[in-house]
Amino acid sequence: MGKGGSDENMAAWLLGVNTLKIQPFNLPTLGPHDVRVRMKAVGICGSDVHYLKTMRCADFVVKEPMVIGHECAGIIDEVGGEVKTLVPGDRVALEPGISCWRCDLCKEGRYNLCPEMKFFATPPVHGSLANQVVHPADLCFKLPDNISLEEGAMCEPLSVGVHACRRANVGPETNILVLGAGPIGLVTLLAARAFGAPRIVIVDVDDYRLSVAKKLGADDIVKVSINIQDVATDIENIQKAMGGGIDVSFDCAGFNKTMSTALGATRPGGKVCLVGMGHHEMTVPLTPAAAREVDVIGIFRYKNTWPLCLEFLRSGKIDVKPLITHRFGFSQKEVEEAFETSARGGDAIKVMFNL
């Protein structure tokens, strides 16, 4: 609960560029299908850092004070009158996006593309770095007994990797290239392995991140250049490391150079999945890739991934614990330090708040 023993709900508010402040956050009324969740673990995502540094992420612009955070898990405090599946005391992971369930995209099951989506900490919707939040019960997933609340919060980034693997039809016959060994590249590596990929090569410009990828089970790692002129050399080194055709490449950075590398390295008839969104627009050699019938697949967030993520964690097929490198409490000083740590990068992969 709030500081000083009071019951006031406090949250981390984004007030301006590089300005976060813990302030009171009034919760909406609990609806019949809602639950009130006491937050226990909240991770920092790259999008949270973007909002803090620039007050925008892609086309989403922060125009008024907003509660930040969307990777989260907690304990149910109260349930609405119609909620049958959860009870107070249940530990849950929260899927952060509330779709309308009425539009054609929702009806066909692609609810992640819903134009009316209300997503934690995507303006103007408030996020979840707070003592408590109110959320629909059907978007709160009960944690298996052997899964920690921190691991529950990690279902959100892991969901991006799982959705990407589903979109690209990854399986036991799919050799995988992952470009970018940041948090999303690493969860994509873990997801691809859980989906049965026999060989995974991951590339990055940073030695430390590559060493983490190797520890997490990458079959080979390749350090690449940041210079677009080196694409041909990088492709040669990547293909040599793979030792066979690359069936699916996941670009988890989203820059001209990474996408050009992915398109050139992937075998004829293979797939390139654009996961990261570093550049809003790119100039890439699409024509030669199209002539080799390389399919380009886009992904946006995820859909119906939490049950599978929790099963991967419960069964031990995926271990996300090594990704959590830094932990902070929920005080003004610690919130500022945590975001600085995440923004700095370096040895920080996933920064987690313990509330």
**Percent of the chain scoring above 70 in pLDDT:** 98
Question: pLDDT: is 104 or 277 the higher one?
Answer: 104
pLDDT grade for 1, boundaries at 50, 70 and 90 = very low
324: how many CB neighbours lie within 10 A of its CB? 18
- Sheet with 271-274, edge to edge strand ranges: 220-223, 199-204, 175-179, 248-251, 271-274, 295-298
pLDDT over 80 at 4, yes or no:
no
Which amino acid type is present at position 280? Answer: H
Cα 109 to chain centroid, rounded? 20
The 10s digit of each residue's pLDDT in 240-265 is: 999 999 999 999 999 999 999 999 99
Q: Of 178, 192, 216, give the one whose Cα is nearest residue 349.
A: 216
> What is the structure's pLDDT at 254?
94
pLDDT over 90 at 345, yes or no:
no
> What is the structure's pLDDT at 58?
81
Query: Residues 40, 354: contact at Cβ < 8 Å?
Result: yes
Of the given ranges (289-293, 331-335, 343-347), which has the lowest mean pLDDT? 343-347
Q: What is the mean pLDDT of the chain?
A: 96
Query: Residues 285, 260: contact at Cβ < 8 Å?
Result: yes
The 10s digit of each residue's pLDDT in 179-195 is: 999 999 999 999 999 99
The 10s digit of each residue's pLDDT in 125-170 is: 999 999 999 999 999 999 999 999 999 999 999 999 999 999 999 9
pLDDT grade for 6, boundaries at 50, 70 and 90 = low
The 10s digit of each residue's pLDDT in 198-207 is: 999 999 999 9
Q: Name the token pair of 332.
A: 């003004």
Q: Of 136, 204, 129, 197, give the one whose Cα is nearest residue 162.
A: 197
